[in-house]
Amino acid sequence: VTDGARAAIPPERYAKRLADLRDVASERGLGALLVGVGPDLVYLTGYRAMPLERLTMLVVPPIGDPSLVVPRLELAAARAGLGTDVLIVPWEEGDDPYAVALTPGVRPGPLAVSDRLWARHLLGLQAHRPDTSFVRASDVLRELRMRKDAEEIELLRAAAHAADRVVAAISAGRLVGRTEADVAREVRERLVDEGHEVAEFAIVASGPNSASPHHEASERVIRAGEPIVLDIGGLRGGYGSDITRTLWVTGGDPALGPDDEFLRLFEAVREAQGEATSAVRPGLPAERVDAVARGIITAAGYGEHFIHRVGHGIGLETHEEPYLVAGNDEPLVEGAAFSVEPGIYLDGRYGARIEDIVVCGPSGPIVLNEAPRDLHVVTG
Ligand code: ZN
Ligand code: ZN
Ligand code: ZN
C-alpha cells in the first residue's frame, strides 16, 4: 500500500534474538526466562497471542532450545502466528500448565518472568517453586528491545508517515463548528484507513482544553480564534506511531489569528523541540534531551508551564524505555527510538505541544515524522 508497509522481521532475526537471550540467561545463571503473552513474546517470536486465563508461555532455558507452551486449542493459532521455528508444547484441558512450563530444560536458579505476565500465572508458577526467586525478565530484555534494528526502524517510519498523512488530512479542515469527539472519531478512522491495526489515542484539545496535555476529546464545539493540540497514534505493522501538532483555527477570519502571547509560547515550544532533537546522539544521557528543551522554555519564561517529561521510548509499545526525564542518566544507545515532545500549558487559557518520533542514529538524530512543525492556520 504505502511506504515500508511490508517491512517485516525476518525469521532469522527472531532466531538471533532467542539465541542472544539464551546466552544472557546462561551468563546470569538464570533457571530460565519465562515470557508470557505481550510485547516481549512478540519481540522474541512474532506471536501476537491472545491474553487468556489459559497459560501461553515461551520458556527460554540457559541451555538447549526454547519452547512455546500453549493450550491445545491455541495450537493452530500459535503455528500460524510464530515468525520463526520454535518447538510448540501443547497442554490439554485438565493438565497443570505450570508444571508443563517448568519442565522443558528449566534449570535451578532464579526464574525471570516478563512484566506483562498475569499475577494468576506468576502465582501458579510460584506454587511449584516455593524456594526459587522470581526476577524481572525486562532487566535483560530492555537492552535488546531498546536497540531497534533496520527492519524495526522501517516499521516505525512507516507508522510515522501514516500518522503524518492523518495530521495533514485533519489540518485541511473543516474544524470550526465540529465537536472534539467528532474530530477524534475521524482521526481514529483515518489511522485505521492508513493501515493501523489499532488507533490507541486521538487527543483533540481545543481552546482552553489545549492546556491539558492528556485531554480526552469531549463534546466541546471548536470555535474560530483558538488553538487545537492534536496528539494521535496507535500501532501499525505492530509498531507505534505518536505525533503531536498544534493548529490555530481562524474560520477564515484574519482578525481571529493567534495573539502575541500564543505566538511567543509556540515559538519557544518549536525551538525547544528542534534543539532537543538536534542534541540526540549515542552516549548522551537521556535526561540531557529533557534538559535542553527545558532550558529553552525556561529562558522564554515558561519553565513552570512545561509540566511533563520531554519524551518516552516507542516500539512494540507506544510507551516503553527509554524515558527522557530528569534523573535518567542512562546513555542513549544507537537504535533507540523515542518521542521528543515539549509543551507549554497556560492553565485555563491555552497550550501548545510539538511531538516527533526520533531514532538515535550513529552520529545524530533521525527524525521519522515529516509533517510540517510550524503553527498551521486552519481557515475552515
Ligand atoms: Zn502523553
Ligand atoms: Zn503523543
Ligand atoms: Zn508521546
Residue 268 Cα distances to 89, 279, 299, angstroms: 57, 16, 9
Please tell me the number of the ligand nearest to residue 319's CA. 3
Distance CA 66, CA 16 (A): 12
Please tell me the number of the ligand nearest to residue 338's CA. 3
Please tell me the number of the ligand nearest to residue 232's CA. 2
Distance 231 CA to ligand 1 centre (A): 8
What's the predicted TM-score (pTM) here? 0.92
Distance 66 CA to ligand 1 centre (A): 36
Distance 111 CA to ligand 1 centre (A): 33
Distance CA 342, CA 269 (A): 6
Distance 230 CA to ligand 2 centre (A): 8
Distance 124 CA to ligand 3 centre (A): 36
Distance 243 CA to ligand 2 centre (A): 5
| Side chain identity at residue 207, one-letter code | G
Q: How many helices (H) and strands (E) does the chain have?
A: 10, 17
Distance 334 CA to ligand 2 centre (A): 22
**Strands 57-60 vs 134-136: parallel, antiparallel or unpaired:** unpaired
Q: What is the pLDDT of residues 30-83, one digit of tens each?
A: 999 999 999 999 999 999 998 999 999 999 999 999 999 999 999 999 999 999
How confident is the prediction along the chain (380 residues), in pLDDT tens digits per residue?
A: 344 445 689 999 999 999 999 999 999 999 999 999 999 999 999 999 989 999 999 999 999 999 999 999 999 999 999 999 999 999 999 999 999 999 868 999 999 999 999 999 999 999 999 999 999 999 999 989 999 999 999 999 999 999 999 999 999 989 999 999 999 999 999 999 999 999 999 999 999 999 999 898 999 999 999 999 999 999 999 999 999 999 999 999 999 999 999 999 999 999 999 999 999 999 999 999 999 999 999 999 999 999 999 999 999 999 999 999 999 999 999 999 999 999 999 999 999 999 999 999 999 999 999 999 999 999 98
Distance CA 309, CA 243 (A): 16
Mean pLDDT, the chain, integer: 95
Total residue length of the chain:
380
Distance 139 CA to ligand 2 centre (A): 26
Distance 232 CA to ligand 3 centre (A): 9
Q: Is 111 exposed, middle or buried (0-12, 13-18, 19+ CB in 10 A)?
A: buried
Residue 373, all three cell numbers:
512543525
145 three-class SS: helix
227 three-class SS: strand
Phi, psi (degrees; rounded to nearest 5) at 38: 145, -170
37 three-class SS: coil
Distance 4 CA to ligand 2 centre (A): 22
